[in-house]
Chain A
Amino acid sequence: MAKAIENGVDLAEEVGFPPFDTDTFASQIFWLVLTFAFLYWFVSKIALPRLASVIEERKQRVETDLADAARLKAQADEAFAAYEASLAAAKNNARVIAEETRASLASESEVQRKSLEQDLATRIANAEKTIDDTKTKALSHVGEIASEATSSIVERLLGSAPTQVQVDKAVKSALDR
């Protein structure tokens, strides 16, 4: 070993500038080829595949997550559209029902009103008829009452009752006047 170091130093002194000392070239090339070949094997077979797998896995994870998100968003949009549609249908339905109800109620109340009016009209007519009858009846009794009153008055005044025929005649002529 001592000899080797001595040898190296000697060679360096001979050449003067160590990097151009050709006697060390073979050794350096040998070690460089050995170490670099190992490094290349390690990098290409172990280090880079490992890193690549992680990066690839992350990329795929992100992609699937994005796809999931897009799918879920589409579902949400669909649900929202369905909700909107059903809401519109329900609104429409409610409007139809309301209109129908209003129409049926209106016609019902119209019918009731008409029957009520008819009823009232009948009653009014009846009442009027009763009034008329009563009036007629009352008026028909007027002559009778007048005759009686006349007969009584004449009897009181003259002391003797006139005949019915005379009284009626007199009353009639008075009423007709």
Chain B
Amino acid sequence: MASPTEQFEIRHFSDPLFFIGGSPVTVTNSALFMIATVGVIVVFMLAVTSSRSVIPGRWQNAGELLYEFVADTVRQSAGKDGLVFFPLVFSLFAFILVANLLGMLPYSFTVTSSIIVTATLSLLVILTVIVYGVAKHGVKFLNIFVPSGVPAWLLPLIVAIEVVSFLSRPVSLSVRLFANILAGHIALKIFAGFVAALLASGTVAAVLSPLPLLFTIAIVALEFLVAVLQAYVFAVLTSLYLHDALHPGH
């Protein structure tokens, strides 16, 4: 029986192309699934915008629904002027959603089950917030650490809390996605492993095998939900953080 974490292994399909800081860059299963993820999004978006008719067909309607859904998320969380970040939030949402869903295919690899991938995406968000906030508001951007209407004697404490909360954002953002996907896939693997183990035991315990099978099916359904939900959560939190970059005062 393979280890439950075997599915997260990075497999190298080529010799190192080059090195970054002593680490090899190779064509890996992760890289292929990233390319596949982007490929699926590109094909889908091209398909839904191929006819571009005023009265949309089914595919175009799906594309427009996705567009409006993400646009509404950005509008509600980041405000109307947050739409400058619409392409970024849309890309993040689409990438994570498709990567998660591709990861649900048997024998596939889940790009977002790697902490470094979710951390890189989170850092991208936080750096965007900081760079845009400072470029737009300069020193005033530091107002995000100073909530208005707080008594002066409380300010040092509040500012400290705000700084810690700001610094923990990329951590929570990346760990939330990574841990959800990782835990779900491990649970799936373990319960599916029980089915095989019970059947292979050759004892009366084999009659119990439908039980973990039912669990496995339930977890598959749950994982599809998690795959979509986590992509949405990532997009909403990104929009909320970008709101700070647009309006540093609370």
Contacts and interface: CB of A to CB of B under 8 A. Distances in A.
Interface of A: 1, 3-5, 7-9, 12, 17-33, 35-36, 38-40, 42-44, 46-48, 50-55, 57-58, 61
B117 A20 contact: no
B116 A25 contact: yes
A31 B117 CA distance: 10
Closest A-B pairs by Cβ, 7 of them? A26-B23, A44-B87, A47-B45, A31-B31, A50-B49, A4-B12, A26-B20
A27 B10 contact: yes
Interface of B: 5-6, 8-16, 19-21, 23-26, 28, 30-31, 34-35, 37-38, 41-42, 45-46, 48-49, 52-54, 56, 60, 63-64, 67-68, 86-88, 90-91, 94-95, 111, 113-117, 120-121, 124, 178, 182
Contacts of B9: 8-9, 12, 18
A43 B45 contact: yes
Contact of A4 (B6, B15, B60): B15
Contacts of A22: 23
A1 B15 contact: yes
Given A4-B16, A19-B113, A27 B45 contact: no
B23 A39 contact: no
B53 to A, nearest CB: 8
A26 B87 contact: no
Contacts of B5: 17-19
Given A8-B12, A18-B9, A35 B120 contact: no
Nearest to A52: B67
Contacts of A7: 12, 24
Given A18-B5, A32-B34, A33-B120, A27 B67 contact: no
Given A40-B88, A58-B54, A28 B114 contact: yes
B246 to A, nearest CB: 18
Nearest to A11: B10
Contacts of A40: 87-88, 91
Nearest to B179: A19
Contacts of A52: 67
Given A1-B13, A18-B9, A36 B91 contact: yes
A1 B117 CA distance: 24
A58 B24 CA distance: 50
Contacts, number: 162
A27 B26 contact: yes
A145 to B, nearest CB: 123
A35 to B, nearest CB: 4
B175 to A, nearest CB: 11
A18 B24 CA distance: 16
Given A39-B38, A46-B45, A48-B67, A27 B25 contact: yes
A31 to B, nearest CB: 4
Contacts of A12: 9-10
Nearest to B35: A35
9 contacts: A8-B11, A19-B113, A24-B30, A27-B31, A31-B30, A31-B34, A32-B111, A44-B87, A47-B45
Contact of B87 (A5, A27, A38, A43): A43
B12 A5 contact: yes
Nearest to B45: A47
Contacts of A23: 23-24
Given A18-B10, A29-B116, A47 B54 contact: no
Contacts of A54: 49, 52-54, 56, 60, 64
Given A8-B11, A28-B117, A50-B52, A39 B25 contact: no
B121 to A, nearest CB: 8
B52 A4 contact: no
B25 A51 contact: no
Contacts of B49: 47, 50-51, 54
Given A23-B24, A25-B116, A28-B28, 18 more contacts: A8-B11, A8-B28, A18-B5, A18-B6, A18-B10, A19-B113, A24-B28, A24-B116, A25-B23, A26-B24, A28-B117, A43-B87, A43-B94, A44-B87, A47-B42, A47-B46, A47-B49, A50-B45
